[in-house]
Amino acid sequence: MFDLVYNTIFFASYGNFYGLSNITLSLFDVLLAYIVTIIVSILVALLLRMPLLPSKPYRYSFDVSAMYPTPIIAVGVFSIFLVLNYTFMYNGIVLAIVIGILSALFVKYLFDFVFPKPLDEGKGEDIK
């Protein structure tokens, strides 16, 4: 994780695409924005009545939950914005909140359409 944060800061402040080298973020700002993204995505997912953990057995479960795909998608999308040096306001905190909300909405309503569940080998239909 710390390599990801270091590389994000390095690429965002050193040779960015738009030549905005005067915009710099500290390590604390990036870590705080990542933590805010994770917490907001989990809280919004819980407010949308998603389960905290997937159904058992965890290893073979394809259910969406508040803990598994939601914060990972949120951190991934937020990392893309940081690498592109787009932090919006307050050193990325507002962007982290918006991405946390949108990732929870995506996982709740669109995740099964974008990433469908695999077919059941025995029955030839979707796993429910």
Residue 77 lies in a domain: yes
106 located within any domain: yes
Residue 127 counted as domain residue: no
3-state secondary structure at position 59: helix
Number of domains the chain is built from: 1
Does the pLDDT at position 48 exceed 60? yes
Q: State the average pLDDT over residues 34-40.
A: 95
Residue that wins the pLDDT comparison between 128 and 46: 46
Residue 54 lies in a domain: yes
Position 68 in a domain: yes
* 8 confidence band (pLDDT: 50, 70, 90): low
CA–CA gap between residue 103 and residue 30 (Å, rounded): 19
Is 95 inside any structural domain? yes
3-state secondary structure of 55: coil
The residue type at 58:
Y
- What residue numbers bound the domain in which 54 lies? 2-113
